[in-house]
Amino acid sequence: MRPLIVQKYGGSSLATSDKIKNVAYRLMKEKEKDVDLVVVLSAMGKTTDTLISLAQEISPRPCKRELDMLLSTGEQVSVSLLSMAIKELGGQAISLNAMQANILTDSFHSESQILDIDTQRIKTHLQEGKIVIITGYQGLNKEKDITTLGRGGSDLSAVALAVALKAQCCKILTDVSGVYTADPRIVSDARCLKKITYEEMLELASMGAKVLHARSVELAQRYDLEVYVKSSFDEQNAGTLIEKDVKKMEEITITGVALNKNEAKVTLVGVPDRPGMAAEVFTCLAEANINIDIIIQNVSVEGFTDISFTVKEEDLHVTILVSKEAVRDLEAKEVIFKKNVSKLTLVGVGMRRHSGIAAKMFRCLADKNINIEMISTSEIKISCVIDQDKGDLAVQALHKAFELEKS
Ligand code: ADP
Ligand code: ASP
Ligand code: MG
């Protein structure tokens, strides 16, 4: 049996017809190695952003079912064009959308989870010797409505297909050479990592390093799937391997720093301090499908407390509506919010055995006159909420202070 590899190409690698032709050429060369290839694609360039703007010209908060219907068209354009490009080069290929590839999801439009993939049809086309090209980011719920998996979700499609097809590995081909110690667009001397553990990659991805979708890392970890992040332009570069082996990495204290710019901070002021209050507030938010991140409850003064938390900026509007209702029900004082905040996170498995990392991080930020508004820690990460316009400066300062450019 031929080895099977799943490759995923992101939007920037498919931004023009010439780039699509390059990908086709690259796949033809790969196919000469007698492998089976399943290729997952994002939409071309910034297509998804453009489609969202278009929808917002019609409706400021469009119906999510219709939005998914619209956004899924982006990926359909790229898979069909790539298939044509391969045929033009004399190869054999077939493009499939989520319905044809049988990718079943739940019905949470715009943030769906993959429930199952029936791989029969994909396998038949592979046996016919075809390169099978599948739309990323989309699925189909049981009513046969099109769903999407969340922004950046093509990584998740690729990993899920690799797991379902028992592929040898999954390669994420993108516009940088791999996973770096920080976003190379913010830190010019950021270092490309040869390897990183699932655990660390999951923290970096969840905290804003968009080179991989966080849920794709979680899924790869659960099934022990080898994932490589590599450049789609530079074939020679080995890229980064994401795997579970920690032994070789124990010497390293800090692996990387991530920045999430699109955050907002919400505070419920004057909440009566009695059992069940936090449960009440966060149940309402959970029912509205809002993901909460850092939470801080202040000390109680005369029976009242303030509860602050962060949400994604795009969820702020709904969060405020829900929080205002909660404030009314609980007879709290008011809801205040701050838009332009960023979450800055330092990640490293080595933190488990080293003390003083937090102190060094806070000192470094203080030296740059950067105020810390909230702090949250886990075994392998420290996150701080700071002003959005200080984000890049903070990443650069931490990268330097922890000497992440040195291997
Ligand atoms: P694609 O279109 O291929 O899915 P993305 O734009 O989603 O690509 O992700 C790649 C981008 O992620 C890079 O261009 C880079 O700016 C950003 N990025 C953020 N943090 C990191 C990091 N630690 N390592 C590499 N890239 C990162
Ligand atoms: N095209 C989708 C997006 O821009 C999915 C992806 O690129 O992974 O979010
Ligand atoms: Mg991406």
Mean pLDDT, residues 353-365 = 92
For residue 278 the two structure tokens come to 């936090």
Among the residue ranges 104-113, 238-247, 268-277, 316-325, the one predicted with the least confidence is 238-247
Nearest-angstrom CA–CA distance, 83 and 76: 11
Name the phi and psi angles at 297, rounded to 5. -115, 125
For the CA of 46, the closest atom of ligand 2 is 4
Q: Domains (ranges, CATH) in the chain?
A: 4-175 (3.40.1160.10), 257-401 (3.30.2130.10)
Report whether pLDDT(250) > 60.
no
Q: How high is the pLDDT of residue 246?
A: 55
Q: How high is the pLDDT of residue 370?
A: 98
Distance in Å, CA 13 to ligand 1 centroid: 12
Q: Which residues line ligand 1 (CB under 6 A)?
A: 10-13, 42, 152, 174-176, 179-180, 182-185, 204, 209-211, 256
For the CA of 256, the closest atom of ligand 1 is 23
399 touches 182 (CB < 8 A): yes
Q: How high is the pLDDT of residue 248?
A: 56
Judging by beta carbons within 10 Å of its beta carbon (0-12, 13-18, 19+), is residue 226 exposed, middle or buried? middle
Mean pLDDT, residues 29-36 = 95
80 touches 20 (CB < 8 A): no
Distance in Å, CA 150 to ligand 3 centroid: 11
Closest protein CA for atom 15 of ligand 1: 183
Closest protein CA for atom 4 of ligand 2: 48
| Ligand in nearest proximity to the CA of 43 | 2
pLDDT digits (tens, 9 = 90+) for 272-289: 998 998 999 999 999 988
pLDDT digits (tens, 9 = 90+) for 299-351: 888 899 999 999 999 899 999 999 999 999 999 999 999 999 999 999 998 88
For residue 78 the two structure tokens come to 């790229």
Residue 198 binned pLDDT confidence (cut-offs 50, 70, 90): very high
Q: What percentage of the chain reaches a pLDDT higher than 90? A: 89
pLDDT digits (tens, 9 = 90+) for 202-212: 999 999 999 99
